[in-house]
């Protein structure tokens, strides 16, 4: 059956309002400023999911930083992850740097584990991770986030950069898909 984005949203559950997302990003900005203000970090967004989080967070970080992006995808507009496929890999600009990775969600952790490992392999001095959301799975993951905005239940979530079958990255709040 064809995907109907309007129906998916209408039958979804609201998990975090836009105000809650904004408050979480304000708090993360303070925490990141405390840790990174004197580190001249390289901030790397994991596209495309990190687009909304990055766009809202970066203007709140008022210290010198450089920005770049990588693109690694594991879900390919589906709701179940497979192997990590690289579209844009980290570059030599990570060498010797404190790197902060930004992503929309830490779920099973395979995507961020692969990106962190690649940055360290290329010569990054330190790699920290900030995610807008972390999914509560109740078991250990291959990588930990250093900064977490909001937790989400173990359901497929969308909005704030996260897609559902390619749709709805643009929503300002976070929803969970219902079967």
Ligand X SMILES: O=P(O)(O)OC[C@H]1O[C@H](OP(=O)(O)OP(=O)(O)O)[C@H](O)[C@@H]1O
Ligand Y SMILES: Nc1nc2[nH]cnc2c(=O)[nH]1
Residues forming contacts to ligand X in the complex (CB under 6 A) are 46, 48-49, 73-75, 81, 103-111, 163
Residues taking part in catalysis: 107
Cα 166 to Cα 110: distance, rounded to the nearest angstrom? 20
Select the binding partner of residue 57 from ligand Y, ligand X, none (C-beta < 5 to 8 A, by kind).
none
Shortest distance, position 105 Cβ to ligand X, whole Å: 5
Shortest distance, position 56 Cβ to ligand Y, whole Å: 17
CA distances in angstroms from 103 to 4, 13, 80, 113, 140, listed in the order given: 26, 22, 18, 12, 19
Cα 93 to Cα 124: distance, rounded to the nearest angstrom? 9
The tokens 């740097």 sit on which residue? 97
Nearest CA-CA partner of 27 in 172, 148, 159, 158: 148
C-beta closer to ligand X: residue 54 or 98? 54
Instruction: Please report whether residue 134 would count as binding ligand Y according to CB under 6 A.
Output: no
C-beta closer to ligand X: residue 48 or 173? 48
Report which residue's Cβ sits closest to ligand X. 49
């Amino acid at each position: 059956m064809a995907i109907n984005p309007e129906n998916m949203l209408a039958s979804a559950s609201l998990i975090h309002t836009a105000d809650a997302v904004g408050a979480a990003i304000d708090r993360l900005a303070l925490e990141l400023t405390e840790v990174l203000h004197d580190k001249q970090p390289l901030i790397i967004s994991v596209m495309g999911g990190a687009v909304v989080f990055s766009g809202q967070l970066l203007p709140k970080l008022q210290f010198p930083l450089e920005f770049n992006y990588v693109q690694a995808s594991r879900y390919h507009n589906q709701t179940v992850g497979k192997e990590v496929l690289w579209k844009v890999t980290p570059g030599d600009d990570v060498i010797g740097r404190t790197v902060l990775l930004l992503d929309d969600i830490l779920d099973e952790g395979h995507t961020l584990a692969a990106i962190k490992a690649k940055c360290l392999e290329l010569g990054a001095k330190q790699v920290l991770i900030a995610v807008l959301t972390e999914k509560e799975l109740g078991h250990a993951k291959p990588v930990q986030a250093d900064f977490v905005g909001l937790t989400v239940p173990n359901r497929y979530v969308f909005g704030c950069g996260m897609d559902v079958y390619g749709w709805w990255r643009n929503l300002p709040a976070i929803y969970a898909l219902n079967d």
